[in-house]
């Protein structure tokens, strides 16, 4: 009951922001060229879906975000499990990880363009690189923090290295892995928009760029709203998956 109350309060707060936004736009405290009301943004969104291919641009952004994120998930879980479950691997590989991790993704974009051109492959590479690190570090931390007594049980049962990872280490590291996946999903959405703007790929990034250049503020705000909705739904989906996979963990 308390959770429902908090959720209703959050929706009420969001509705209040929309009302204030509409009042400010109606009073024209800021020029309508730069600040359309939510009514104009909604109308632009509906027109975009009906007549201007906005739905295809949403699908394009979702495609770039999902493919890049899934590629990073696979690489992070595989590499993280191997590195995190071996103390020797952590000692030898950690310096290399610390060298690559601080690299800004913006510095990788020219390299990706040189390798793949202004293509979707470039966008997926950049998104995968940028979203890899939160998941990889969380996975390494999760596997490195496995309770030693559980590993002793695995040795007593003569479990192989793969069976130990699958049956003991992976379930123990799962909370950390899912936390990294949640953080990286937001990064994937941001990088999708950046790559679409830089490379002119079909997606919400291109929609935002055209809206800004043509001074179509209603289109611009419609795109921002859609990005917020995508981010919210993606976080909610990860939350559902997290609750199902971690149903064994006692509630705080």
Q: Where do runs of H (alpha helix) occur along the chain? A: 2-27, 38-51, 54-84, 87-100, 105-116, 120-144, 148-156, 161-164, 170-199, 204-213, 217-245
**Alpha-carbon 248 to chain mean position:** 25
Residue 31 lies in a domain: no
Residue 2 lies in a domain: no
Residue 217 lies in a domain: yes
Residue 21 lies in a domain: no
Residue 211 lies in a domain: yes
Which pTM does this prediction carry? 0.86
Q: Is the pLDDT of residue 34 over 60?
A: yes
Q: Which domain holds residue 141?
A: 39-245
| Residue-level pLDDT at 189 | 93
Burial of 144: CB neighbours in 10 Å, binned 0-12, 13-18, 19+: middle
Share of the chain above pLDDT 90, in %: 32
58 vs 222: CA distance, rounded Å: 12
- Tens digit of each residue's pLDDT (9 = 90 or more) over 109-148: 888 999 888 889 999 999 999 999 889 888 888 888 878 8
- Tens digit of each residue's pLDDT (9 = 90 or more) over 45-84: 999 999 888 999 999 999 999 999 999 999 998 888 888 8
Inter-CA distances, 91 with 87, 95, 103, 144, 148, Å: 6, 8, 21, 12, 18
Are the beta carbons of 222 and 58 closer than 8 angstroms? Answer: no
| Residue-level pLDDT at 47 | 92
| CB proximity list for 4: less than 8 A, separation 6 or greater | none
- Tens digit of each residue's pLDDT (9 = 90 or more) over 203-251: 999 999 988 888 888 999 999 999 999 999 998 898 888 888 877 666 5
In 3D, which of 84, 201, 204 has the Cα closest to residue 145? 84
- Tens digit of each residue's pLDDT (9 = 90 or more) over 135-192: 988 888 888 887 888 777 777 777 777 778 777 888 888 888 998 999 899 999 999 9
Domain CATH number, residue 56: 1.10.3720.10
Residue 250 lies in a domain: no
Residue 19 lies in a domain: no
Hey, what are 66's tokens?
């999902």
Residue 3 lies in a domain: no
Q: Is the pLDDT of residue 252 over 70?
A: no
pLDDT, the chain, mean: 86
Hey, what are 28's tokens?
């024209």
**Domain count across the chain:** 1
């Amino acid at each position: 009951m308390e959770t429902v109350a908090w959720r209703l309060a959050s929706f009420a707060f969001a509705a209040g922001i929309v009302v204030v936004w509409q009042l400010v736009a109606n009073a024209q405290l800021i020029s309508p060229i730069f600040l359309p009301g939510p009514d104009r943004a909604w109308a632009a969104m509906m027109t975009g879906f009906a007549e201007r291919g906005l739905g295809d641009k949403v699908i394009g952004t979702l495609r770039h975000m999902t493919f890049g994120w899934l590629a990073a998930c696979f690489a992070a879980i595989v590499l993280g499990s191997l590195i995190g479950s071996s103390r020797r691997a952590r000692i030898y590989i950690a310096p290399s990880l610390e060298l690559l991790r601080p690299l800004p993704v913006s510095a990788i974009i020219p390299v990706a363009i040189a390798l793949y051109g202004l293509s979707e492959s470039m966008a997926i590479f950049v998104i995968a690189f940028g979203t890899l690190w939160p998941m990889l570090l969380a996975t390494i931390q999760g596997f490195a923090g496995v309770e030693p007594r559980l590993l002793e049980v695995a040795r007593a049962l003569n479990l192989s290295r793969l069976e130990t990872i699958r049956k003991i280490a992976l379930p123990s590291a799962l909370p950390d892995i899912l936390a990294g996946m949640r953080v990286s999903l937001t990064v994937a959405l941001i990088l999708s928009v950046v790559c679409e703007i830089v490379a002119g790929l079909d997606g919400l990034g291109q929609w935002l760029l055209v809206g800004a250049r043509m001074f179509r503020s209603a289109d611009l705000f419609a795109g921002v709203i859609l990005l917020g909705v995508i981010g919210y739904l993606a976080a909610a989906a990860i939350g559902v998956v997290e609750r199902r996979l971690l149903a064994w963990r006692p509630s705080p």
